[in-house]
Amino acid sequence: MEQVMWDGGRGTGGGEVDEERCPAGVIVTLTPAQPNSELVSICTTTDNMNKNFKWVERGYGKNSIKLLHVRRDSAVHSIKEFVVSTQLTLASDKDYIHGDNADVVATDSQKNTVYILAKKHGVTSPEDFALLLCSHFLAKYPHVQEVVITVDAYPWRRQVVEGRAHNHSFIYSPECLHTCKVDQKRGEEPLVTTGLEGMRVLKTTQSAFVNFVSDEFRTLPDMKDRIFSTIVSSSWQYNKHKGVDFGKIWVTILKIINDKFSGPPDTGIFSPSVQNTVHLIQQAALTDVPEISQIKVTMPNKHYYTVDLSKFKEVGSKDNNEVFLPVDTPSGNIMAVLSREDPCQVKSKL
């Protein structure tokens, strides 16, 4: 069996095409009626093939493009290590429908573009680099309708040796991962989303969980003083992209999360629930950073259960508030997305 584009002439392989049934310009499937016989035609238009279906989403690109950029403007060097992923959506779907690759910008070419733009323009924040890539693909290829760029920035920081910042030595400091995503459609402003992942925090007191639903399914006791540990993930959407200091805002929100989780160094801050801590973080972020329109925070519980030592007389007491068993799963998961009541109004003030 083979498929050809019927042009009004003779089919391939010696098969005749019924011109009344198959007008020129449609897909023709040629298949032998009997072994070793001539090919006969079955014509199907593109419309007939797809009239019951519609695209929900499509796109293609290159995942996990690894990039290290070294800035050597002076004796003091700077580095940025990114993992970049690209995705393009074309105006035409002929690459999917007909296997016609005429408009396809190869994923290998997309990868090369990342390196070339890094060389030509340098690398600052993940957001600015993602915006640069979006702008390039839309300007370079008029048949590209949408570009989505994601960037993960690895957490390197400068080494301190003998009390001084080192000129060219760095240490990997995995406090958390800086993420971003920029989605831009042709003729529209880019949507910039920044985030952080893997921020593992723990405090040994100033946390409780009491007065929750008590019924036949409950076994968990009230906990008036407990260990609170979680791995924070957060993402926030910007309401503009021009003139924004993305790096400064990322540091600001990181500080807000730390402040609302930890509190003052001597006394801390009381958390009656993970939900309340999530909300305090979100309120502070939207209040202090007018450039963002909404923020999502996810805090899964990382449980530490008291080890039962009551059977061991040498311990001296059945009470134990020092030795705990870390438990990964199952665990609770608390999430919320908080936005401004009227994001458009905030935009007009900026």
Give pLDDT tens digits for 258-303. Answer: 999 999 999 999 999 999 999 999 999 999 999 999 999 999 999 9
Helical axes 107-121 vs 126-140, angle rounded to 10°: 120
| Cβ atoms < 10 Å from Cβ of 328 | 8
3-state secondary structure of 50: helix
pLDDT for 51: 79
* Identity of the amino acid at 343: P
Point out the annotated binding site for 5-hydroxyisourate.
Answer: 107-108, 209, 226, 274-275, 301
CATH of the domain at 78: 3.10.270.10
171 and 226 together in one domain = no
Q: Does the structure show a pLDDT above 70 at 6?
A: no
Are the beta carbons of 150 and 180 closer than 8 angstroms?
yes
pLDDT given at position 328: 86
Please, is 179 exposed, middle or buried when counting C-beta atoms within 10 Å of its C-beta (0-12, 13-18, 19+)? buried
What is the residue range of 73's domain?
55-188
State the pLDDT at residue 25: 44
- Average pLDDT of the chain? 88
Regarding whether 118 and 41 lie in a shared domain, the answer is no
pLDDT at 45: 43
Pairing of strands 65-71, 324-327: unpaired
Q: Please give the structure tokens belonging to residue 218.
A: 């409950």
At which of 161, 188, 215 does a domain end? 188
List pLDDT tens digits, range 121-148: 999 999 999 999 999 999 999 999 999 9
Mean pLDDT of 241-262: 98
Query: Residues with catalytic annotation?
Result: 62, 107, 303
Residue 319: band (very low, low, confident or very high) from pLDDT cuts 50, 70, 90? confident
Q: Of the ranges 25-39, 45-59, 316-330, which one carries the lowest mean pLDDT score?
A: 25-39
- Give the whole-angstrom CA distance, residue 231 versus residue 186: 37
Same domain for 124 and 176? yes
Residue 21 burial by CB count (10 A; 0-12/13-18/19+): exposed, middle or buried? exposed
**Quick one: 110 exposed, middle or buried, by C-beta within 10 A (0-12, 13-18, 19+)?**
buried
Q: How many domains does the chain have?
A: 3
**Does 330 sit behind a cis peptide bond, omega within 30 degrees of 0 on the bond before it?**
yes
pLDDT value of position 343: 60
Q: Which residue matches tokens 């831009």?
A: 184
Give the pLDDT score at 182: 99
State whether residue 95 is helix, strand or coil. Answer: helix
Cα Rg, the chain, nearest whole Å: 29
Is 60 found in the same domain as 45?
no
Same domain assignment for residues 71 and 40: no
Helices 246-262, 274-288: inter-axial angle, 10-degree rounding: 150
300 shares its domain with 235: yes
- pLDDT tier at 50 (50, 70, 90 boundaries)? low
pLDDT above 90 for 149 = yes
Looking at the structure, do residues 348 and 221 belong to the same domain, yes or no? yes
Query: Do 322 and 243 fall into the same domain?
Result: yes
More confident residue, 37 or 176: 176
What is the pLDDT at residue 315? 83
- Measured CA to CA, the distance from residue 175 to residue 284 in angstroms comes to 21
The confidence score (pLDDT) of residue 310 equals: 86
Do 164 and 297 lie in one domain? The reply is: no
- Among 188, 218, 240, give the residue marking a domain's end: 188
For residues 283, 288, 289, 294, the Cα torsion angle rounded to the nearest 10 degrees is 10
Among the three residues 166, 188, 210, which one is the final residue of a domain in this structure?
188
Least confident span in 143-157, 161-175, 299-313: 299-313
CA distance 257 to 248: 15
Least confident of 99-113, 233-247, 317-331: 317-331
Residue with tokens 């994601």: 150
Is 226 found in the same domain as 122? no
Looking at the fold, whether 323 and 225 belong to one and the same domain comes out as yes
309: burial class by Cβ within 10 Å (0-12, 13-18, 19+)? middle
310 in Cβ contact with 253 (< 8 Å): no
311 — pLDDT class (breaks 50, 70, 90): confident
pLDDT band at 150 (very low <50, low <70, confident <90, very high): very high
Bind-site residues for urate: 107-108, 209, 226, 274-275, 301
User: Can you tell me whether residue 249 is helix, strand or coil?
Assistant: helix
Instruction: Say whether pLDDT at 244 is over 50.
Output: yes
Same domain, 257 and 145: no
What is the identity of the amino acid at 241? Answer: H
315 — alpha (psi -120 to 50), left (phi > 0) or beta? alpha
**Helices and strands (H, E) in the chain, number of each type:** 7, 15
